[in-house]
Amino acid sequence: METHSSYARQSKRKCSLLLVFAALLLLAVLRDVTTGAAGLGFKQVTAAVFAPDSVSPTARAVVWSLRLPAALTAAVVGASLGLAGAVMQTILANPLASPYTLGVGAGAAFGASLAIVLDLHLASLPPEYIVPLFAFVFAGGVCLVVAMLGHSRAGSSAVMILAGIALLFLFQALQALLQFFASEGDLQAIVFWTFGSLQKAAWSKLGITAAILFAALPLVLCDAWSYTALLLGDERAESLGVRVASLKRRAFVLVSLLTAAAVCFTGTIGFVGLAGPHIARALCGDDQRFYLPLSSLCGALVLSAASTLSKSIVTGGIFPIGVITALTGVPFFFALALRGRWTR
Amino acid sequence: MTLRVQDLNFSYGSRAVLQSISFEALPGQVTAVLGANAAGKSTLLKCLSGLLKPSGSIALDGESIADMSPHRRAHAVGAMVQDIGAPARLTVLETALLGRLHALTLKVDPREVERVMGVLRRLHIEALADRLLTELSGGQRRMALLAQALAGSPRLLLLDEPTANLDLPNELEALRLVRAMTAESGLVTVVTLHDLNVTARFADRVVLMGEGRVIGSGAPEDTLTPALIERAYGVKTRLLRDGDRVVIVPEG
């Protein structure tokens, strides 16, 4: 019974870890909301959040129209990228897999750039949704092409990774071509989009991203034990009763939706989909019941902290969040690699 | 409960790996599959576990393994493959629990944990329960995988090179345990082995393979003869008597 209780203790510890990270995320979002250029103090912001009628219309507008949607978008996008990265690393059995290393970010950036250059208008769609729609379609398209190529070779991870890397280079080249021919105004818009930004966050867009995240999370968790079995290899998982091909197909559809919904409104935000899963694995191991939600929480926490940092570097200014995640992510990543805790 | 294999054929592309394989494996007995490298032993085990789809028939107690759903097959067949590639950051207990995948939910029933702990205790590896696979030796990892194969209380146990990476005392102990559990639970156990003398000591029946065909099957004393061994391995051997045991010694 000793090890049984030890197993129960370990499971409890991992559950506590999830709760601690959820609490940390709450604090990080609160910090993010209270950080900004409008000169609103902590009390004013919390009053605007919890008792909107007790503050001035300006303070209410700043908090409800700008800061809250941006702060929550950071958390939801980070959570989506963290979860998508974790699922990708598991099904591809590769610690380097993430939405960006497999070309999804490059696909989204090309889609957005194409929409900017073509300056399309669709009667049934508000103008601010045209660029995200193109980014969504191309990001999801990259995921599906990678999945289909892998499926044609019985779900071979190596084929999928190589296909993703090839698409990354293809879309980077196409993006450069578009930029070469773009007008000065379009070029500026493209560069701004690829920086990654929470500036255009809005409740309606946040709703779409959040709906996909909260629909995907329980679906992924239902398959948690099957994902864990997959870590021992496809054949092993198959002999344990997992329908591997069908599980990978489901996973790729969810990853496509999560990633596409996350990047289409915010632009290129690197490293979150890579860093979140690695932090989670170092903390709780590979049991996917804990690893998947913790990766999501870590991704949210990292992007939320980056959002606060982006507003704190220059007084009154906002640094592009994609630049912050890359600049802070790389040294952090080196540290993880040197400690050797990121590998399986 | 019997495993009946009839006229099994399997090819990788145009290369025939298994040709007209037929044999029976009985409950409570260890059936060893022997043969030189690339004789088709691992492919045969993959076919028996349902991972590959050969022509011919494989029936466990009259029920075709190919017709079983993945869940039902996982319940009926416990398989231990040769290698798991890069080990995951899973503990031995978590790894063994996966053998009961069909019964696992997000919150694991303590009875499942206790049942799997019973298997670890039976294999004398309960002290490793909380250790990560990444921290274990190759031999210890194989014991964890053996526990996983046994955890689902299978009717058919398939072990591909279960003693690879084990030192001599652990090899003998692992095979003694497999033999004891096979007899106690009335399992049909099929195991691939390399060592002829170990096979002669532990197997109840032997299927000797050469170039994808069965060249002899039956009791060890009937199949591990110098003539059949030479056909399977291309090596001349002699049989020496050591009390009531026979030792196979290569000549030259």
Is residue B122 packed enough to be buried (19+ CB in 10 Å), middle (13-18) or exposed (0-12)?
middle
| H or E stretch covering A160 | helix A157-181
pLDDT digits (tens, 9 = 90+) for A147-176: 888 766 655 778 888 888 999 999 999 999
Residue with the two structure tokens 């709760």? A19
| CATH node for A17-338 | 1.10.3470.10
**Structural element, H or E, at residue A11:** helix A2-34
- How far apart are the CA of A302 and the nearest CA of chain B, in angstroms? 23
Task: Name the packing angle between helices A184-195 and A104-118 (round to 10°).
Answer: 150
Confidence at B126, pLDDT banded by 50, 70, 90: very high
**Considering chain B, what percentage of its residues have pLDDT values greater than 70?**
98
Nearest-angstrom CA–CA distance, B92 and A232: 12
Identify the H or E element spanning B239: strand B237-242
Alpha helices in B81-225 (DSSP H): 92-97, 110-122, 138-151, 168-185, 196-202, 220-223
Q: How many CA atoms lie within 13 A of A159 on its CB side?
A: 12
| Chosen from B91, B105, B119 to mutate, greatest number of chain A CBs within 10 A | B91
On the CB side of A265, how many CA atoms lie within 13 Å of its CA?
Answer: 26
Which tokens in the block code for residue A80?
A: 């989506």
For residue B65, is pLDDT > 90? yes
Q: Are A231 and B49 an interchain contact pair (Cβ–Cβ within 8 Å)?
A: no
CB pairs under 8 A between A and B: 93
| Lookup: tokens for A230 | 């997959």
A292 touches A312 (CB < 8 A): no
| pLDDT average per 10 residues of sequence, chain A (344 residues) | 73 95 96 83 85 87 91 96 95 84 88 90 81 89 84 71 91 93 91 83 92 96 96 90 91 88 86 90 93 97 93 78 82 72 49
What are the residues facing B216 on neighbouring strands?
Answer: B208
Q: What angle do CA A51, A55, A61 make, to 5 degrees?
A: 95
Which residues on chain A are in Cβ contact (under 8 Å) with B108? 11
| A106: its two tokens | 């490059």
* Contact at CB, B106 and A240, closer than 8 angstroms: no
Q: A3 and B71 in contact by Cβ < 8 A? A: no
Per-residue pLDDT of B105-123, as tens digits, reads 999 999 999 999 999 999 9
So what's the ipTM on this one? Answer: 0.88
Question: What pLDDT, in 10s, does the model give residues A254-307?
Answer: 998 898 888 888 888 878 888 899 999 989 999 999 999 999 999 999 999 999
Q: CA A110 to CA A128: how far, in whole Å?
A: 17
Q: What is the mean pLDDT of chain B?
A: 91
Q: Where are the beta strands (DSSP E) in B13-71?
A: 15-25, 29-35, 55-60, 63-64
Nearest CB to A3; choose among B73, B75, B93: B93
Sheet of B156-160, strand order: B77-80, B156-160, B188-192, B29-35, B205-210, B213-218
Cβ-defined contact of B74 to A287 (cutoff 8 Å): no
Please, which residues have CB within 8 angstroms of residue B176's CB and are 6 or more apart in sequence? B202
Give chain A's length: 344
Structural contact between residues B15 and B191, judged by C-beta atoms closer than 8 angstroms: no
B71, B106, B126 ranked by CB distance to A221: nearest:
B106
Q: Is the pLDDT of residue B81 over 90?
A: no
